[in-house]
Structure 1
Amino acid sequence: MTHQPTQSPQFFLTAPSPCPYLEGEFERKVFTHLVGDKAPQLNDLLTQGGFRRSQNIAYRPACETCRACVSVRILAQEFQPTKNMRKVQMANADLVGAIHDAEPSTEQYSLFRTYLDARHRRGGMSDMTVLDYAMMVEDTHVETKIIEYRRRGPDTFLTGKGEGELIAVALTDRMGDGLSMVYSFYKPEMDERSLGTFMILDHIARARQQGLAHVYLGYWVEGSRKMAYKVRFQPQEHLGPKGWERFAAKPQV
């Protein structure tokens, strides 16, 4: 009997499937499992190499004819909000994010379901059940937290928690060099709050407070309207053939 070494991760390649971002293109992914005691260190290494985490899987695009997906990370310690971002912060000054262990709740799933039905009815996650959601949250071997955003209450300064209805949620990994935003969702009827932008700004503030250099936003595809918001958070770095390099976007107001 031969024994396979267990110290190094094994990588696998998916079959081609239609690209969700670029019409007419097909995507493939290379992936490996994030399990065991070494999962946090492996997740750090792979994330810095352009991988993303989904449950206990780390993956990155490996498309044969396209290199449009670019890994993005914000330089948190140098970040300065734009005028519009400061307005978003003021509009959400009544919200507070409380950190919890990565444990799902029926309240979270209800908000998640409402968000998917309003924003991603035809997306790949549109048919996720409550059990699927629980796996998305719980199936992690790295340091993962749930941040729940609610309105501030009279005792928030003591409890560190908000009160009332759940308005937004972020599933976040803490790594050695930053925070990685795995997935976030919010009340879709509160468009005027720009809650997606607010949660990114909140993660930048948390990274700064913790002395972490980066906030990882996943992939950006130039020309994709779904991902255009990611380059608004400057300064940031993009992962290219020469490694992580600063990316200069058009000035924002």
Structure 2
Amino acid sequence: MMSIPLFLTQEHPCSYIEGERAQSVFVHPAYPATTSIYAQLIEQGFRRSGDEIYAPHCPHCSACIPARLPVEKFKPSRSQKRCLKKNINTQTIVKPAAFEQAHYDMYLRYQAIRHGDGSMAHAGPNDYLAFLGSSWCDTRFVEFSINNELAGIAVIDQFEQAWSAVYTFFEPKFSNYSLGVYAVLWQIEQANLQQKDFLYLGFWIKACKKMAYKTNYQPIQLLIDNQWVEMSV
């Protein structure tokens, strides 16, 4: 890989584990990122937020562990099979990562209920798209519809040999459909159909409930000491 300029942030309060201090390493914003370069970086544990590419670099903590799933080997659990059955009639449309008012309105309703105390609950249209989309990455918005009504959105990044699950949000009234789970199951299936090797799931954080679910998808691989290791957690 070519040399990529990085910079280290100052320490700040961790947004995942109460009482911890966090630090991140970022790709310099002047560096001309591309989908293919990011595909190499994500394999080394980096993620993106909007156009920014980063990785945890905390001096006293290693709780954020990159996770990915080898899609061809995936075996759904009983509860995941029930989720698939419940969503047998859920329809999907894959769209470009572009602003749509209906998506944005649903995003705000989701944030208000799930993360009402967070800054993104009050995000304007530009902030919303800057968080989910990217000017240089091959990103798609996947619409999930139930009874012909928009029910959820999954944001995915597509690479030559893998997909990355970026974010999922859904209409609160459809919460009993477990669309967060279904969105991951759909991505696993579609990535496998397209002969991709992996679905990247972001960071697994055992001590954080909203990030610990990723080991529910087996067999999971975790990046430990710069090696991807298959784990049963």
TM-score (norm 2): 0.94
**In structure 2, what is the equivalent of residue 103 of structure 1?**
98
> Map of 1:109-120 to 2, 5 A cutoff?
109-120=104-115
1:244 is matched by which residue type in structure 2? Answer: W
**What is the aligned counterpart of 1:43 among 25, 38, 43?**
38
CA RMSD of aligned residues (A): 1.6
Assess if the C-alpha contact under 8 Å between 1:143 and 1:174 holds in 2: yes
- Find out whether 1:150 has 2:145 as its counterpart: yes
Query: 1:53-80: per-residue Cα shift (whole Å, max 9, x none)?
Result: 1111110101110000000001100001
Q: Secondary structure at the match of 1:9?
A: coil
Which residue of 60, 66, 71 maps to 2:66? 71
Corresponding residue to 1:214 among 187, 191, 198: 198
- What is the letter of the counterpart of residue 79 of structure 2? N
Given candidates 46, 50, 54, the residue that maps to 2:49 is 54
* Structure with max Cα Rg: 1
Query: Partner of 1:231 in structure 2?
Result: 215
Matched, 1:184 2:168: yes
2:153 aligned counterpart, secondary structure: strand
* Cα drift, residue 177 of structure 1: 2.1
- CA distance in structure 2 between the aligned counterparts of 1:112 and 1:65, rounded to whole angstroms: 34
User: How big is each residue's C-alpha offset from its partner over 1:81-113, in whole Å with a ceiling of 9 and x where there is no partner?
Assistant: 111111000111111221111111000000000
Paired residue type of 1:56: D
- Encode CA deviations 1:172-193: one digit per residue, 9 max, x unaligned: 1001221101111011232221
Match of 1:173 among 149, 152, 157: 157
Task: Specify every segment of 5 or more residues in structure 2 that has no aligned partner in the other structure, as ranges.
Answer: none
Amino acid at match of 2:4: P
From 8, 13, 23, give the equivalent of 1:18: 13
CA contact (8 A) 1:98 1:149 kept: yes
Poorly superposed stretches of 4+, deviation over 4 Å? none
Q: Using the alignment, how far apart are the partners of 2:211 and 2:123 within structure 1?
A: 22
TM-aligned CA distance change 1:198 to 1:90, over 3 Å:
same
Partners of 2:104 and 2:125 within 8 A in 1:
yes
Structure 1 position 151, deviation (Å): 3.0
Report if the CA contact (8 A) 1:34-1:58 is conserved.
Answer: no
- Check the 8 A contact 1:34/1:43 in 2, yes or no: no
Mapped partners of 2:84, 2:90: distance in 1: 10
Q: Contact conserved, 2:39 with 2:159, CA < 8 A, in 1?
A: yes
Task: Give the number of aligned pairs.
Answer: 231
Question: Which of 120-129 and 191-200 deviates more?
Answer: 120-129
Q: Distance in 1 between matches of 2:99 and 2:92?
A: 16
